[in-house]
Copies of this chain bind each other. A is one copy, B any other.
Amino acid sequence: MSSPAESAIATYESDRDAALQRVKDLLAIPTVSTDPAFAEDMQRGADWCANRLREIGFDATVHGTDKHPIVTAEAGPTDGPTVLYYGHYDVQPADPLELWHSSPFDPQVVQGPHGDRIVARGAVDDKGQLMTFIEAFAAWQATHGGFPIRVKVILEGEEECGSPSLPGFLDQEKELLAADTCVVCDTGMWDVNTPAITTSLRGLVYIQVRLHGPGSDLHSGMFGGTVPNPAMLLSKVIAQLHDDNLRVAVPGFYDGIRPPDQDRIDSWYALGFDDKAFLATAGLDTDLGEKGTRVLERIWSRPTVEVNGLCAGYTGEGAKTVIGAHATAKISCRLIAGQNAENVRDALKQFFLDRTPKGCRWEITEFGAEDAFEVDGDSPWLAAAQEGLQAQFGKPAAMVGSGGSIPVCGLIREHLGFESLLVGFGLDDDGTHAPNEKFERVCFDNGVKSHLRMLESFARVTA
């Protein structure tokens, strides 16, 4: 006799192509949250998600915010455990467009080594992933006519631009969102056959620094050599962000850090991490990072400073002999446990202010600051998730770190008072934030089925 999850899995199997079409429908909406030009598409994306949740028996609401809407929904009995599911329907900008093999918002299914893959901006981050739990709910509902636990959903539209509306919303909707735990579906698997639960996430600080020099763009022949050149002077400051060992040289940056011990780092490598294969997914045959640390250690457990963008002077085709009036850098830090994001942001800003070139001034813009996050290893919800994943994959889930930042975990702990479980189905080579982002269809299928099995396990937890 099949279990409730297995029956629902059979339902999903019979509806698999329609599910894929629904994923493509959502991916076709260009929900770029960081660019004001896409504001209407953001609304369409939120409405699409709410309507789909209503179709499968949820009571769903689209909440306006100062920026992009937040979707909430709930269904199932009110007298047992409650699990909140989190995803984000916004995506990164698609540029550089010329490097895409197909239009980023015209989802394509193409063949890869693991069979079908879905190619589109947001395929894996995060619209494809949030559809794994929505399709799981659809299959469970169609099979059993109801849910074994109270299921709540929150889908935000500002994850890729620092979640400015989320803290206030969580604070205001404590009751609506009350739950025993939150399943955050925005992370990766160990490999295509091995599920993973992410137990640590790096935090994030993001600022933009613009160095202003001359009052307007100048002719480099008429003024070159005798006036401050912001492009060169900004480069000089950026060059000081790291020392010769590629350690971050911002004073106070490492204050309070709690790096993992060597045993934990060794345990990650014991999973079979292959530096060369990982670098190959980035088109590289060599690493470059902090002296005395290893590739995986760096991305899971070392804080960083990276330049994400540079712009100054003339950037078009050909030559222009200009000295630009200003130069801009976008700079982000990844943080680990023990660092205080606001302190790091202040230290980074001070680093630039302390190096203001003669005749220049800085204009600094902040884009969010979140601490790193670590999961409680003793949670019964963690055990239930592990049980569900083991049932689906026939092997234990890897307990991994992640280099990325998912601010919602810290915000949920702070504002709603419960913990999160990071269970996702992406692969390292999915091209998150890059051209030709993809999501393996086998990962999508395993994601839907894993959510069904975890739902069954969650129903057995007595909180």
**A313 → chain B closest CB, angstroms:** 4
Give residues of chain A (296-323) contacting chain B, Cβ–Cβ below 8 Å.
298-299, 302-304, 306-323
Instruction: Say whether A310 contacts B327, CB under 8 Å.
Output: yes
Interface centre among A404, A428, A434 (most CB of B within 10 A): A434
Chain B residues contacting A367 (CB-CB under 8 Å) are 318-319
Query: Could you give 26 example pairs across A and B, Cβ below 8 Å?
Result: A93-B316, A93-B320, A161-B318, A202-B221, A217-B433, A217-B435, A218-B433, A220-B308, A222-B299, A222-B403, A222-B404, A224-B334, A225-B334, A227-B287, A228-B288, A232-B239, A232-B306, A236-B238, A307-B313, A308-B321, A308-B324, A310-B327, A311-B311, A313-B330, A320-B433, A322-B434
In the bound complex, CA of A239 to CA of B95 (Å): 28
Nearest opposing residue in chain B for A223, CB measure: B282
What is the oligomeric copy number? 2
* Per-residue interface assignment for chain A, residues 25 to 42, with 1 indicating a CB less than 8 Å from any chain B CB and 0 otherwise: 000000000111000000
Instruction: Say whether A299 contacts B219, CB under 8 Å.
Output: no
Contacts from A to B (Cβ < 8 Å): 34-36, 92-93, 95-96, 99, 160-162, 202, 204, 206, 208, 213-229, 231-232, 234-236, 238-242, 279, 282-290, 295, 298-299, 302-304, 306-325, 327-330, 332, 334, 357-359, 367-368, 402-405, 428, 431-436
Chain B residues contacting A318 (CB-CB under 8 Å) are 34-35, 161, 367
**A321 → chain B closest CB, angstroms:** 6
**A157 → chain B closest CB, angstroms:** 13
Chain B residues contacting A433 (CB-CB under 8 Å) are 217-220, 320-322
Top 9 nearest A-B pairs by Cβ distance? A215-B283, A221-B404, A34-B318, A225-B304, A239-B239, A319-B367, A235-B238, A309-B313, A235-B235
Chain B residues contacting A357 (CB-CB under 8 Å) are 288
Interface centre among A99, A282, A402, A431 (most CB of B within 10 A): A282
Interface centre among A96, A213, A321, A404 (most CB of B within 10 A): A321
In the bound complex, CA of A238 to CA of B137 (Å): 54
Instruction: Say whether B403 contacts A224, CB under 8 Å.
Output: yes
Instruction: Say whether B219 contacts A314, CB under 8 Å.
Output: no
**A411 → chain B closest CB, angstroms:** 17
15 A-B pairs besides A160-B319, A225-B290, A239-B239 with CB distance below 8 A are A35-B318, A214-B284, A216-B283, A218-B434, A221-B404, A222-B299, A225-B306, A227-B284, A229-B307, A232-B239, A308-B313, A308-B321, A309-B314, A310-B311, A311-B315
In the bound complex, CA of A321 to CA of B99 (Å): 18
Chain B residues contacting A234 (CB-CB under 8 Å) are 235, 310
**A333 → chain B closest CB, angstroms:** 9
Nearest opposing residue in chain B for A304, CB measure: B225
